Amino acid sequence: MVGTSGNWSIEEAERIYGVSRWGGGYFHIGENGNIKITPNPSDPSVQIDFKAVIEEIHEEGVQLPVVVRFHDILRSQVANLNTHFRNTISEAEYQGEYHGVYPVKVNQMREVVEEVVDAGAPFNYGLEAGSKAELLTVLALNNNEDSLTVLNGYKDEEFMRLALLGRKLGRRMVVVVEKYSELLLLVRIAKELKIDPIIGVRAKMTVKGRGKWESSGGDRAKFGLSFAEIINTARYLKEHDMAHCFKLLHFHIGSQLTDIRSVKEAISEGGRIYAELHKMGFPLDYVDVGGGLGIDYDGTASTSESSRNYSMQEYVSDVVYGMKEMCDLEGVPHPNLVSESGRAITAHHSCVITEIMGEIKSNSAAIDTGPKDGEHYFVKNMREMISNFDQQTNMQELYNDASQYKEQALDAFKLSVLSLEELAKIETMYWEIMTRLQAYYAQAEYVPEELQELDFNLSSQYLCNFSVFQSAADTWAIDQLLPVVPISRLHERPEINCSLVDITCDSDGKIDQFSVGREITDVLPMHRLKANEPYYIGLFLTGAYQDVMGDMHNLFGRLNEVHIFSYDDDPQDFYIEEVVKGSSVEDVLSIMQYNPKAMAYDMKRLIDKQVSAGVIKPREGVRWTDFYEDCLSGYTYLKTAK
Ligand SMILES: *Cc1c(COP(=O)(O)O)cnc(C)c1O
């Protein structure tokens, strides 16, 4: 994959890493081989060099790994989605308006939600909450009376009271009934408090999204009302004189919809339900099409699980024109449109920057394999295979024999027939043969199946200072692919293929799925490490879900964060607006019920005891005590020499 022939160029790097394909107009490879950011594609003169950002991060004394947040990208995406809807609505002469909401579960960080609310203010862009804690958050955060607040998820009495409090404050809080019993609860409490709620229902759709989240639709979906329950809801509200509160129809067929066909089908089905309700005498104001707008993580623009075969514009057009056609056909007015895109708003705006700490080679250590008197004939045989390598015509046979000798040698070792040194020689020669076979097959047109794994088995692993479980949970949990790219040196040809491992003590803590030149591979072309030069890599598109879903496996805590704003007057076109410190060891220990102060005290006593006994000198004792305390208050990740 990493060819050695031909000239290397930025175009070639672009072809391999696909930065412009998944970059959404925000990322590309600069002529100097560094990743560049265009935070606002409508103003391409503002360009940030990622290497300069990392240098500034160092100057601020912030330790890696870091989450880097580009607030301008977040703002651009909010404007993009709203503008696409507005323009398409006017072009289609659609009679309703767009009232989008941002679902906070996708990234609940205060700075993110505040930025989304601020950037969305000119569009009356609202928020969506799916739990009580999120409801408490959105109540306090968005007080624009012209924007919607959509409340999904399972609800209890407190939840309903909070929603009605929002109504008292003049807010457009829509309680979406997910389950029939919630309707009875809501009606009872609304009557008790004498507040008119805004009621929505979530339809359990028969159309299923295609992709990883397809179980969000269909008969076994966790959420939503069946057709019969929707009719019962309408009738129940009428009986209780609350038909005028029934305002919204909601559906959500899954996240990361890979195929545009499922969007079209959902709009048809949802549009039909809306039209029927209208004809039954329930003129709803809104149809909420949920989330699902996908991100092209692997840059293939296909229906592969980490991609999608449509653009944002195409999605918006299908929603607007699809609803218009259905309504015109049915002779009902066009409803206002609501969508709950989260992934599409936040994915691009943040990434994780970390440093490679070293290389783990599967076959690096070699010992002298020269002949020795009285050595076992296994060793001799292996050596002969190497000296006859070039005369060998059947490479498959050579592979089989070498593999068999290696296995037999291990058995012989266990039976005390072979010495450890002899075993080590056989191991060394085995890897030599494999390396030569790999070189042989690199030129071959046909590679036997068994030998196809050679590349992977012989590839190195780069050790990355981060935890997959904290920073890229979905790559572990659901095989989500995230783009990984070196931050600089992209004008140099990458010489080796590597997979990545993290610093947790968990063999699942690795990334071995990459998109390379539009193909999904288990290794990524990387550059060789240099002695005195750090090698930085970026894990991109982590702004949706990954930022907030991580856990503290191995007690690796949250990452340091830097918030970047673009600034045209600055020579580097950016400044660091804020640094948010990640978890210290103390922080994560406290969450696990430890008392770091007491631990430090206990350690001091143990050290003092050794001082009294004369094992440790008093000054040295003080140093050890301070050191322990420094580490407690320090970062949970590895410290790199600067
Ligand atoms: C998760 C979720 C969303 C967000 O979906 P994206 O695919 O991230 O846009 C929207 N609506 C509901 C009801 C959700 O559960």
Tens of pLDDT, residues 356-394: 999 998 777 789 999 999 999 999 999 999 999 988 888
Q: What is the pLDDT of residues 485-535, one digit of tens each?
A: 999 999 999 999 999 999 999 999 999 999 999 999 999 999 999 999 999
Q: Is the CB of 342 inside a 6 Å radius of any atom of ligand 1?
A: yes
| Residue 564 backbone phi and psi in degrees, to 5 | -105, 135
In terms of CATH, what superfamily is 71-350? Alanine racemase (3.20.20.10)
Give the Cα separation of 424 and 431 in Å (integer): 11
Nearest atom in ligand 1 to 257's CA = 7
Give 130 Cα–ligand 1 centroid separation in angstroms. Answer: 9
Where in the chain are the domains?
Answer: 10-58, 71-350, 377-455, 587-633
Give the Cα separation of 452 and 1 in Å (integer): 13
53 Cβ contact partners less than 8 Å away, ≥ 6 residues apart: 37, 68, 562, 564, 574
Give the pLDDT band of residue 212 (cuts 50, 70, 90): confident
Q: What is the pLDDT of residues 311-339, one digit of tens each?
A: 999 999 999 999 999 999 999 999 999 99
Q: What is the pLDDT of residues 23-33, one digit of tens each?
A: 999 999 999 99
Q: Is the CB of 24 inside a 6 Å radius of any atom of ligand 1?
A: no
Site to substitute for ligand 1 among 81, 101, 102, 106, most atoms within 8 A of C-beta: 106
* CB atoms near residue 73 (< 10 Å): 28
From 365, 369, 363, select the one nearest 426 (Cα to Cα).
369
Q: Any idea of the CA torsion for 283, 286, 290, 293, to the nearest 10 degrees?
A: 120
Give the pLDDT band of residue 108 (cuts 50, 70, 90): very high
Give the pLDDT band of residue 642 (cuts 50, 70, 90): low
Q: Are strands 246-250 and 198-202 parallel, antiparallel or unpaired?
A: parallel
**CATH no. for 377-455:** 1.20.58
Q: Is the CB of 254 inside a 6 Å radius of any atom of ligand 1?
A: no
Angle at CA of residue 639, ends 637 and 642, nearest 5°: 145
Q: Is the CB of 217 inside a 6 Å radius of any atom of ligand 1?
A: no
Q: What is the pLDDT of residues 536-569, one digit of tens each?
A: 999 999 999 998 888 999 999 999 999 999 999 9
Give the Cα separation of 94 and 115 in Å (integer): 29
- Residue % of the chain over a pLDDT of 70: 98
Instruction: Please report the pLDDT score of residue 1 as a whole number.
Output: 46
pTM, to two decimals: 0.92
CA-to-CA separations, 388 to 379, 394, 398, 541, 612, in angstroms, rounded: 14, 12, 10, 50, 68
- The amino acid occupying position 597 is K
Q: Which long-range contacts (CB under 8 A, 24 or more apart) does 413-417 make?
A: 417/376
| Residue 244 backbone phi and psi in degrees, to 5 | -70, -15
Q: Is the CB of 174 inside a 6 Å radius of any atom of ligand 1?
A: no
Q: Is the CB of 298 inside a 6 Å radius of any atom of ligand 1?
A: no
